[in-house]
Amino acid sequence: MKKLLLLVASLVLVFGLAACGGDEVDTYEIAMITDSGGIDDESFNQGTWEGIVEFAEENDLTYKYYKPLEVSDDAYLDAIELAVEGGAKVVVTPGFLFESSIYVAQTEYPDVYFILIDGEPHDAGWTTWETTDNTQPILFNEHESGFLAGYAAVMDGYRNLGFTGGMAVPAVVKFGIGYIAGAYYAAQENGYTLNFGDSTYTYFGNFDESDTNKSVAASWYELGTEIIFSAAGGAGKSVMSAASDAEAMMIGVDIDQSGQSDTVLTSALKNLGVAVQQALQGYLDGDFEGGATIRKGVENDGVSLPMDTSRFTTFTQAQYDAIYEDLVDGTVVVPVNWAELVTFLGDDASNFTEATVAPTS
């Protein structure tokens, strides 16, 4: 016991002396505030963060992420203030939950630049929407990304499809609608019959990796589902694990998830990193494009499939390029809500109900 104490004491002394050496307070120029969930959520936070890290390393800038104390407007605003206290010149916030915090922060710190991903600043009462010149909101066309994933899956030979969303928030709902549209577009184009409807379409109600979520996916695979598109953050891991057990496939979301499991056929990307880097480049070059929302879709490389890492067997780069071109030039207009989806699907719309695909209450 005494020896142990002595050891600890001497350790403290040695490190303590070492600690007396440097005393400068570091500042961090680029700051990110994490949304609920950690920096390694293998999804939204991580995609944004990796973009920041890559950009900052390239340009030799300092960077750091901050974690709010709770999920509330006040706590988010406090975290932004902490980041500014820590020397942040540009603050990146991934997620719509930051909308009203940014609304306050953008006027409180006119000299700080804000990049708000997936949201647009408004006040807490939802009455005033304002984006000042030091703020750049970025939105993505998730439905286009979902469309590409659904199209590719059917073209690659899959006929029994499923979809699991985390929660029915607009971004996730749009992924799903696009996915349905893409899959049935491919089927109608080639005269395939799909087995994809309400029975293999659900929202988990959470974004967590859990046995409950896994068992949902596992039961679908058991009943013959060949591939599940999981737009559910960390819950995607549960689907991967179920797919791995059933020797089936799944489609990832937001970032390239091919490295996480051999069961990932492809991923419906939102090019978070690219979008953040473009905005940061603007900040660095002195022409920050604030004041108005930027939409990232097929026409500005905001969404895509990672063809290099995808595990397609028959779907080719040429087919991908062709459909991508159709989306860009407007030959195909991807539906964005339930009403448009019904029109787009025609007779096949009967496979789905609004309550399942786009629940409102």
From candidates 3, 22, 60, 330, binder to another protein by CB under 8 A: 22
**Sole binder of another protein in the list 127, 193, 313, 360 (CB under 8 A):** 360
Tokens at residue 23, please? Answer: 């005393």
Candidates 6, 58, 59, 70; binder of another protein (CB under 8 A) is 70
Confirm or reject binding of residue 69 to another protein (CB under 8 A). Answer: yes
Residues 6+ apart with CB under 8 A from 15: none
CB of 116 to another protein, least distance (A): 15
What single-letter DSSP state applies at residue 141? Answer: -
| 167 counts as binding another protein under rule CB under 8 A | yes
Q: 157: which 2 tokens?
A: 């030979």
Contact 180, 337 (CB under 8 A): no
Give 74 or 326: the residue with its C-beta nearer to another protein.
74
State yes or no: residue 86 binds another protein (CB under 8 A). Answer: yes
Q: Which residue bears the tokens 């496939």?
A: 249
Q: Does 304 bind another protein (CB under 8 A)?
A: no
Dihedral of CA atoms 207, 213, 214, 215 in degrees, nearest 10, equals 180
| Site membership for another protein, residue 73 (CB under 8 A) | yes
User: Shortest CA distance to 136 belongs to which of 152, 120, 154?
Assistant: 120
Q: Do the beta carbons of residue 265 and residue 312 sit within 8 Å?
A: yes
Exposure on the CB side of residue 41, measured as CA atoms within 13 A: 22
The binder of another protein chosen from 29, 192, 195, 205 (CB under 8 A):
205
Q: How far is the CB of 14 from another protein (least distance, A)?
A: 8
Decide if residue 354 touches another protein (CB under 8 A).
no
289 C-beta neighbours (distance < 10 Å), count: 13
- Contacts with another protein by CB under 8 A: the residue count is 46
Q: Which one of residues 71, 223, 339, 355 is an interface residue with another protein (CB under 8 A)?
A: 71
Name which of 113 and 207 has its Cβ closer to another protein: 207
320 touches another protein by CB under 8 A: no
Binding status of residue 15 toward another protein by CB under 8 A: yes
Stretch that binds another protein, among 22-30, 53-61, 129-137, 273-281 (CB under 8 A): 22-30
Give me the phi and psi of 90, to 5 degrees please. -135, 130
Write the CA distances from 35 to 30, 116, 138, integer angstroms: 16, 12, 16
Distance CA 172, CA 260 (A): 21
Residue numbers of the site for another protein (CB under 8 A)? 8, 11-12, 15-16, 18-23, 25-26, 64, 66-67, 69-75, 78, 82, 85-86, 96-97, 100, 124, 126, 167-170, 204-208, 210, 212, 359-361
